[in-house]
Structures are given as structure tokens and as C-alpha cells.
């Protein structure tokens, strides 16, 4: 059974700023973390996800003014947030969400948190992603300019 995509916790929000995604060697964790903390001021609305495994260090976040040019160059993504918070027994949300994106040939990078999921799409395909999700029955909390 598919999740009830009309429930308010499953409404979608497009986050307003561009996102970056970066992969580094896991040994760069301390150096990278320190640099990211110094790169721009946190305005209370920023997003940063750091995941380290034995094979890689994956970093994704909202690009903010004041960050290095390196991160500006990588800021080719936009994020769609599922409102949340969601109960852990609510199954199939992410698979139901990405299926219409797969059909529309929109590549994704997903980030899950305790409360919800964030799905990053290439910024040039945001309009295609929004339309595919609407056709599939997903509700956007507010209309946004998909640019």
C-alpha cells in the first residue's frame, strides 16, 4: 500500500537556495568540517550533511554567500524536502517519491534525517521533477518558481 501522499507530513517544499554535493577522501573529515564551519555565517536556515564511511566523505549542503568559490562551483542542485516529521512505521515514502523522478529521468541524491527525507535534483531539471511529482499526486506546500 502506498503512503497517503495527501497527508500534510508528506507535502513537499522546495528549499530556496542551491545545494552542493561533494565527495572527498575520509581522511579529510576534520579539515573539511573546520573549513565548512568557517565558510560563511549560519543564518539559521542552512543545511549541511556530512557522512563518512571507510571509503568516502560525502558532503551536501545549501550554498551560502561567503562560502568558497569551490562550493559555489559545485552548487548545481536544488532540494525538495518532504515536510515531515514522519513516523518510522510509515513505509514506502521514499520509493514512492523517487519512482516518478525515475520515469522522468531525473537523477537524484537523497539525504535522510530522523524527521524526514531531502531529495536533491540537478537544478536544470527542477521543473521536470516538480511536474512529474504533481502528475503523480504529490502536493507542494506552496507554489514555487522551478528555476
How many domains are contained in the chain? 2
Q: For residue 104, what is the domain's CATH number?
A: 3.30.2130.10
Give the pLDDT of residue 125: 97
Task: Give Cα separations from 27 to 2, 50, 54, 56 (angstroms).
Answer: 41, 13, 9, 8
Q: What is the rounded CA–CA span in Å between residue 85 and residue 103?
A: 27
Please give the residue that has the higher pLDDT: either 108 or 95: 108
Q: Determine the average pLDDT of the residues in 94-111.
A: 94
Verify cis geometry, omega within 30 degrees of 0, for the bond prior to 56.
no
Q: What is the pLDDT of residues 25-82, one digit of tens each?
A: 777 766 666 666 655 556 666 788 888 889 988 989 999 887 888 889 999 999 999 8
Last residue of a domain, which of 30, 54, 74?
A: 74
Q: Are residues 52 and 87 in the same domain?
A: no
**Grid cell at residue 5:** 501522499
Task: Report helix, strand and coil shares of the chain as percent, to nearest 5.
Answer: 30, 25, 45
| Cell (9 digits) for 59 | 558532503
Task: List pLDDT tens digits, range 79-92.
Answer: 999 888 877 777 78
Q: Which residues pair with 58 in a beta bridge?
A: 23, 51
Domain extent, residue 38, equals: 20-74
pLDDT tier, 104 (very low <50, low <70, confident <90, very high otherwise): very high
Q: Is the separation of the CB atoms in 107 and 121 below 8 Å?
A: yes
Amino acid at each position: 500500500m502506498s503512503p497517503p501522499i495527501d497527508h500534510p507530513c508528506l507535502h513537499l517544499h522546495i528549499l530556496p537556495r542551491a545545494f552542493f554535493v561533494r565527495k572527498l577522501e575520509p581522511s579529510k573529515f576534520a579539515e573539511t568540517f573546520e573549513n565548512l564551519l568557517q565558510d560563511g555565517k549560519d543564518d539559521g536556515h542552512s543545511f549541511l550533511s556530512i557522512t563518512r564511511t571507510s571509503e568516502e566523505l560525502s558532503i551536501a549542503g545549501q550554498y551560502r554567500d561567503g562560502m568558497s568559490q569551490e562550493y559555489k562551483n559545485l552548487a548545481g542542485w536544488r532540494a525538495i524536502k518532504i515536510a515531515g516529521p514522519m513516523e518510522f512505521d510509515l513505509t514506502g515514502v521514499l520509493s514512492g517519491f523517487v519512482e516518478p523522478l525515475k520515469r522522468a529521468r531525473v537523477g537524484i541524491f537523497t539525504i535522510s534525517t530522523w524527521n524526514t527525507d531531502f531529495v536533491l535534483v540537478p537544478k536544470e531539471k527542477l521543473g521536470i521533477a516538480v511536474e512529474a511529482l504533481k502528475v503523480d499526486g504529490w502536493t507542494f506546500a506552496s507554489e514555487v518558481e522551478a528555476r
